[in-house]
């Protein structure tokens, strides 16, 4: 099939994708903070949700809908406000649910992996900056001479999602280990939750306010 990615094409894309995913940014910062505050299970689940949220951006880019969103100032602003408000809400919830001072376990130990995964999925899927990133980044690695631009875009998006899942899952795992170590210290638990909540709130406000 002519539209299948070639090995050099995929290798160049993955090299760039890994560097971009590892660079400090909102997604890995949220995974890191949540993993430290709530443990490995929370960090990994949220990280995988963030990674799979990339599939929605892949579909939008492949279908050309991202270009329509980018061309509509009103639509883009609405998406920015919705995404920012959601992150602020997550931050407020984290602060409100902070574990009691001195506690070594989260206040909500029964929060399901599915719920954490869904939070990460939504946080990424409604981020308009990621929409524009995919619109600008993926086409650079499409070989137009092979045809099937939409199919190549879909393959690139899937490859990006898989490497992001691996990296975010790893960040969540190590962040959870750090959080467990810190959680043995008196009064640390409450501040871990509050710091994680503050990070979410600041990222949300930044998304809404930065032009």
The stretch 21-39 carries a mean pLDDT of 84
Q: Is residue 13 one of the residues assigned to a domain? A: no
Q: Is residue 62 one of the residues assigned to a domain? A: yes
Q: In this structure, what DSSP letter does residue 66 have?
A: H
The stretch 14-40 carries a mean pLDDT of 86
Whole-number pLDDT of residue 103: 45
pLDDT greater than 80 at residue 188 = no
CB 83 within 8 Å of CB 157? no
**Distance of alpha carbon 103 from alpha carbon 187, whole angstroms:** 7
Number of domains making up the chain: 1
Q: Is residue 44 one of the residues assigned to a domain? A: yes
- Per residue in 127-176, pLDDT (tens digit) is 877 877 887 788 788 886 766 778 888 999 999 999 999 999 999 999 98
Domain of residue 128, residue span: 26-209
Q: Is residue 20 one of the residues assigned to a domain? A: no
Q: Is residue 151 one of the residues assigned to a domain? A: yes
pLDDT-based confidence at 112, cuts 50/70/90?
Answer: confident
The stretch 193-211 carries a mean pLDDT of 75
pLDDT greater than 90 at residue 82 = no
pLDDT, mean over the chain: 80
- Cα–Cα distances (Å) from 189 to 91, 115, 182, 200, in that order, read 16, 21, 8, 17
Q: In this structure, what DSSP letter does residue 186 have?
A: T
Q: Is residue 21 one of the residues assigned to a domain? A: no
**CA pseudo-torsion sign 134, 118, 206, 167:** negative
Total-model pTM: 0.74
pLDDT-based confidence at 184, cuts 50/70/90?
Answer: low
pLDDT greater than 80 at residue 40 = yes
Residue indicated by tokens 């997604």: 27
The stretch 94-104 carries a mean pLDDT of 60
Q: Is residue 14 one of the residues assigned to a domain? A: no
Question: pLDDT: is 181 or 28 the higher one?
Answer: 28
* Whole-number CA gyration radius for the chain: 18
Q: Is residue 17 one of the residues assigned to a domain? A: no
pLDDT-based confidence at 106, cuts 50/70/90?
Answer: very low
- Per residue in 43-77, pLDDT (tens digit) is 999 999 999 999 998 988 888 766 666 667 776 67
């Amino acid at each position: 099939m002519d539209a299948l990615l070639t090995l050099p094409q995929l290798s160049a894309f993955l090299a760039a994708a890994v560097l971009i995913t590892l660079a400090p940014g909102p997604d890995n910062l949220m995974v890191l903070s949540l993993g430290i505050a709530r443990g490995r299970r929370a960090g990994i689940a949220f990280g995988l949700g963030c990674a799979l949220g990339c599939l929605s951006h892949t579909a939008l880019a492949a279908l050309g809908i991202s270009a329509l969103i980018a061309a509509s100032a009103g639509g883009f602003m609405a998406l920015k406000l919705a995404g920012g408000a959601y992150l602020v809400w997550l931050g407020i919830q984290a602060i409100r649910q902070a574990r009691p001072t001195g506690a070594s376990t989260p206040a909500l130990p029964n929060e399901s992996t599915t719920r954490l995964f869904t939070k990460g999925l939504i946080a990424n899927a409604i981020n308009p900056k990621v929409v524009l990133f995919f619109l600008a980044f993926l086409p650079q690695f499409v070989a137009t001479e092979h045809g099937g631009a939409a199919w190549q875009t879909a393959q690139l998006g899937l490859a990006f999602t898989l490497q992001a899942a691996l990296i975010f899952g790893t960040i969540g795992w190590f962040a959870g280990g750090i959080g467990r170590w810190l959680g043995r210290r008196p009064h640390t638990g409450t501040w871990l939750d509050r710091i994680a909540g503050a990070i979410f709130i600041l990222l949300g406000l930044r998304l809404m306010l930065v032009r």
